[in-house]
Chains A and B, each alone.
Chain A
Amino acid sequence: MKLKHSLFTRRQFLNGLLGGWLGGLAALFFYPVLRFVFPPEREPEQVLLPLTDYGSLEPGAIKNFAWGSKPGMLKKTAGGELIAFVSVCTHLDCNVAYLPEQKKFFCACHDGWYDENGVNIGGPPPKPLRRLVVTPEGENLVVRPEGAA
Chain B
Amino acid sequence: MNIRGAARETWAWLDSRLGIQAVMDFLKHKPIPRNRHTPWMYTGSLILIFFGIQVLTGIMLAFYYRPTLEEANKSVGEIMTKVPLGWIIRSVHSWSATFMIAIVFVHLLAIWVLKSYRKPREMTWMSGALLLVFTLAFGFTGYLLPWDALSLAATKVGTDIPRSIPLIGAWGTKFLRGGEDVSGDTLSRFFSFHVSVLPLCLLAALALHVYLIQKLGMSLPVGADEEAEARRSLPFWPNFVYREAVLWLVFIGILVTIAVFLPPTLGKAADLMAPAPEGIKPEWYFLFLFQTLKIFPAKILFLTGDTVAVLLILLAAVLFFFLPLIDNKPAGRKGKIITVLAFLLIVYAVAMSVWSLQTPSKPEADRIIGAPQNIKESTGIYVFLAGIWLSVGVLIYLLRLKIKETDRLLEAGYFSSDKK
Chain A, 40-64, CB within 8 A of any chain B CB:
40
> In the complex, what's the smallest C-beta–C-beta distance from B185 to chain A, in angstroms?
29
Closest chain B residue to A24 by CB distance?
A: B391
Give the interface size bracket for A toward B: 10 to 19
Instruction: Tell me the interface secondary structure of chain A in the complex.
Output: helix
Looking at the complex, which one of A21, A32, A39 makes contact with B394 (CB distance below 8 Å)? A21
Find out whether the CB atom of B395 lies under 8 angstroms from the CB atom of A25. Answer: yes
Find out whether the CB atom of B395 lies under 8 angstroms from the CB atom of A21. Answer: yes
Residues in chain A near residue B88, CB distance under 8 A: 32
A33 beta carbon closer than 8 Å to chain B = yes
A25-B84 CB under 8 A given contacts A14-B401, A18-B402, A36-B60? no
From B82, B83, B391, B392, name the one whose CB has the most chain A CB atoms within 10 angstroms. Answer: B391
- Tell me the complex Cα distance, A24–B395, Å: 10
- Tell me the complex Cα distance, A18–B404, Å: 14
Looking at the complex, which one of B63, B86, B89, B398 makes contact with A17 (CB distance below 8 Å)? B398
Residues in chain B near residue A40, CB distance under 8 A: 84
- Tell me the complex Cα distance, A28–B402, Å: 23
- Tell me the complex Cα distance, A21–B389, Å: 12
A11 beta carbon closer than 8 Å to chain B = yes
Find out whether the CB atom of B85 lies under 8 angstroms from the CB atom of A36. Answer: yes
> In the complex, what's the smallest C-beta–C-beta distance from B405 to chain A, in angstroms?
7
B384 beta carbon closer than 8 Å to chain A = yes
Residues in chain A near residue B111, CB distance under 8 A: none
B195 beta carbon closer than 8 Å to chain A = no
- Tell me the complex Cα distance, A31–B380, Å: 11
A35 beta carbon closer than 8 Å to chain B = yes
A149 beta carbon closer than 8 Å to chain B = no
Looking at the complex, which one of B63, B82, B388, B405 makes contact with A14 (CB distance below 8 Å)? B405
B165 beta carbon closer than 8 Å to chain A = no
A18-B84 CB under 8 A given contacts A28-B388, A36-B60, A37-B63? no
Find out whether the CB atom of B398 lies under 8 angstroms from the CB atom of A33. Answer: no
- Tell me the complex Cα distance, A78–B289, Å: 75
A39-B398 CB under 8 A given contacts A21-B391, A25-B388, A28-B388? no
Chain B, 368-412, CB within 8 A of any chain A CB:
384, 387-388, 391-392, 394-395, 398-399, 401-402, 405
Residues of B within 8 A of A (CB): 56, 60, 63, 82-86, 88-89, 384, 387-388, 391-392, 394-395, 398-399, 401-402, 405
Knowing that A11-B405, A18-B399, A21-B391 touch, tell me 4 more A-B residue pairs with CB under 8 angstroms. A17-B398, A28-B391, A36-B85, A37-B60
Residues of A within 8 A of B (CB): 11, 14, 17-18, 21-22, 24-25, 28, 31-33, 35-37, 39-40
